[in-house]
Structure 1
Amino acid sequence: MHRKYLRWNMKAKLLVLSALFTVSSVVLVSLLSYMRYTQDFERQSAEKVQQIIEQASLNIDTYLQDLFRLSLAPYRNNSLMQALEDGETGSEIDQLDKRRLVEGFLDEMMIYPRQDIIQVFILTDEIYTSGRNPRSVDPKADFRSLDWYRKALQSQDPFFVPTHRQDLVARSDVPQVFSIVRQLRSTRNTEKVLGVIKVDANYKGVEAICAKVNMGKDGGLFIIDKNKNLIYSSVAALRPADIFEQIARQPSPGAPFCMEGGNYLINSVYLPAADWTIVAVNSVKELNRSAAQTRNFALYSAIVCSLVAIGMLSLLTGTFLRPLLNIVKLMHKVEKGHLDVRFDERRKDEIGYLGTSFNALVSQISDMLEENTQLVKEVYETKLLQKEAQINALHNQIRPHFIFNTLNMISLLMQTGDQHKAVDHINKLSSLLRNMFSWDKSIPLQREAELLDAYLSIQSSRFQGRLAYAIDIPAHLNAAMIPALLIQPVVENAVIHGCENKREKTDIRITCGTSEERLTIVVEDSGKGMDEETLSRLRQKLSEPGAQQGRQSPGGGAGIGLVNVNQRIKWNYGPEYGLEVDSSPDTGTRVAIHLPASIV
């Protein structure tokens, strides 16, 4: 029997094993069915609860909007507005009549049937108030120093003041309230602020709304503000602050949460008008009580079947999977670089074919590695040199002395009071620095011209009239895509060598034109220029193939930026493009940048 089994093909072996794994499939299906059922039920429950608390949130929001509308009541009383318009003028009797009028109006507001509104204030130069309970105004209260009062004077929009101890009153047993605050403006002159109205309310109205929501025996509802102050809670056995932190980490509706030895589903709704979070908590155990009984029965049956399947599988694993595991071990060795391993067992089935193929593949990999090692080495060295050259080019673009000089100039402008010009230079310097790190990308010629204008504008201010410039690029060439910061090093070279060493005025002109085969950008300056020997050395550097970027001889020297630009052009477009330099002593320098016309 054992010999016959060795001759079976892979299909026959898998069919036998599939029969043994049937019991395991039953277990898996039972568990997956239970999981799917509970997930769907929990999802549906979470959606239902979400709808409930969203409705509760809508009711609370409507309740708060009523308070906001109540703060508009003064505008509906012309006598009150007239009294507030008159200010604190008149005799003491007039002021007493005004107080009676204002506080009489506030008393009428307190007739409002909602018992949660406990006190209303109108604050001008005086404090006018009326409340449901007798609370006198604290004579030492300085309402002008309170944050909500200062905020009201600065904003025309009403706003919500979260949970706080009631201020401006003299009693010791000051309750916790929340408030609606609104600025009062003149109806005749809307620019004139007459005072501030403040409505204090307790949480009875909110509690009445929340009491109608039933979350089951082990669940509940609570409301908490951004400072973790508990506004309302029907959750007796849980800590709302911990649940609030869980929501902050995982705000998705119906998120699971484990606390106090139980699993719960959490739904939340944010109430922006009050900066409150309404949270509903449901016990997963209570939701899945009946499903758990069915699950336990299926699980006990599945465990028995699984034990039988595991026993049979353990007997077959040794003979069936050992050759395959041997191949896997050999593959791990190959991954670590050991290419001398071979699969030696001779078999007639699919595993034998796999072993033979594995041996052939390892041999091919070994041969290919030997053949390609030298090529990979050459490519790697080429890429490394190119990357080093690119990094050197980038470092060469960023001129520290230019940045420091510009910052010093901006500082002087700000000290002399020329704020507008200082801000303009800051924006231009910021634009230059951002784009210096995009040098390996292509940008429109128009964008390059804008960066040049920013750079030359800063330099012109720095040299105080000794540098004039003009940028003349035809509109139809604005969209031409060129490597970023391609022209800037040429212009910088013109500034450094054409203007810094010359006391007279220097002109720099940038023009652009096309022919059938080329797009040519010309940078001309009226600086000191170069003698014939210096120009010859520069042209020699530009003509050297594969010139290394960023390599500067001791003592520095002109032309490093031009060499870098020339090499970038040749890498991108080919050896037939690049820079052409002409110069004469005391006359100036002309640099022509030749690019392919196809980029237009």
Structure 2
Amino acid sequence: MFNKIILLYSAVMMVLFVTAAVLVYQYQLQRIIREETDANMKTAQVLSIYLNRQYENIQNTIQQIYGDATLSDDLVYFLNNPYENYLGYRLNQFTKTNEQRLRSYSTLVKNYMEQEPGAKRVSIYSYPRKFGMSFEREKEKQQLQYESDSDGSWNNWLMTRRAYTWDTVGNSPEADTTEKSSSIPMYSYRRELQDPWTLDRIGMLVVDFDSKQLASWLSSRVPATHGQMLVMTSQGKVLYDSTGEYVGQDYPYRYELNTAGKWIDLDEPSKINVLDTGNAGLTVIGVVSKSTIEASTGSLRNTLILITLLFFVASFVLTSTVMRKYSKKIRRIIVSMSRIGEGDLSTRIQMPGEDELQQISQRFNDMCERLEQYIDKMYTSEIKQKHAELVALQSQINPHFLYNTLESIRMKAYSEGARDVGKMVYSLSVMFKGMVKKDTVITIKEEIEMCSIYLDLLQIRYEGRIEVAIEVEPAVNGCSIIKLLVQPIVENYMVHGFRSLDEDNRVRISALREGERIIITVQDNGNGIPAERMQEIDKMLSGSYQLSSNLMEKSNPSIGLINVHDRIRMNYGEEYGLSVSSEPGKGTEVRMEIPMLKEGIL
């Protein structure tokens, strides 16, 4: 049986360990997903701040041009006239103002490139003259370029640039042969320039940004990049991709971006974060793929599997050891029980330790001892019962002769006019008939009536010096009781507590129900019991006082109470019996508790 228990327990523990490991793994997985997603969102926010700063720097530069009449006039003249004329214009302005350093749009552009480390090249194109001026960071020079292609090619390029504010570098007139063959990724921002007086479109400003500078700045702010980061235009073209996969292409999953926060199918199931950069018109996309998360949870999964196996092995070994220990103890108990079953009541279980089996063994030993005591007690009780039956048989010898004799005395008393004597003889006859009946169990009503007749005799004898009160609850009248339990208590009062010279003697008998018990109380205002004697009576009633031979004499004032108490406990159980309370000179109260049993049930 214990092998089956071990197997069952091991299976249950295995299921519990696996379940716990799965729950822990799921919890940690959700935590890692949340951390990776939050870190990816933080990276997206940092990237958005960088792009917004680039956009605002460009806008601030353009605002400076339009807000300064000298700079705006300088730029307008440059875009509307041949470059040779522009140089002459600059010389004339220098002569008129007589300033050592004359402000110009080129100076402003160079200042912008110094402040913006991500700007690789700034180009300004003239629509009327079809040439452009480029300012490059690495070569630290400015270069004038003329468009040599046909008007159709120039117009196509112009329309494309007007349609796309942000774009990748590679397909534009400003990219020379060296740039087109270069592998350095760049993205550009374009804005048309207008004449502030006529509002005619006269040129375009193009700023090329280095993607490597963006990546370098991002790594300095976020050392550990979580997931894939992309920057996408409003038309869906990818300007920047941390993996380099979609740069310059239309993002194929741009229509699934409205399901941020959920798992969506991109190249693989992924979580995404989408962040708009405001006025710049760009969207930053953060992608955390499932493979990235699984790579982060691989060590966790292996650790949980190893811990689960270790716990299972440890649990199996521990369970087997404990079960074998308890198995030996239980076998010892079974052997002892078998010996008890064979009749050897002297068997005792010697069980070491302080566990539940040791307590069972102790209770088993106590049970064997009580069983032996019970057998001895029942044997003694049977002997006493046989003796009582013998006494009862002797008392029933020729009872009709006694009845007839008492009846003759009663009739003689009435004929002589002694009615009180006749009444006493009649009461004595009735009480005698009840006492010699063979029934040992009667109703409470019959027991109380016997006490009432006994007290009637005493009232006649003492001519009104005793007052009797009897209260019996109707619900208990029909309940059964052992015969002669109440009368000896009343008789004990009359013998030891009654004050024959006083006329205010009172005795009260009550029988009431309390739950499933019947409480019979005999209360008097007699002499009471001295304190020393009450201590002896309490010890006798509790069973902690052994009666000596002289205490067993009939003259002992407590022998009647002890006999009634023993009869109650013998027939009803140890939880029932008498309790006595007394105060010298004020009276005594005897309280009897018996179970509430219907007539005929003992």
Same fold per TM (> 0.5)? no
TM-score (structure 1 length as normaliser): 0.37
Structure number with larger C-alpha Rg: 2
After TM superposition, the score normalised by the length of structure 2 is 0.37
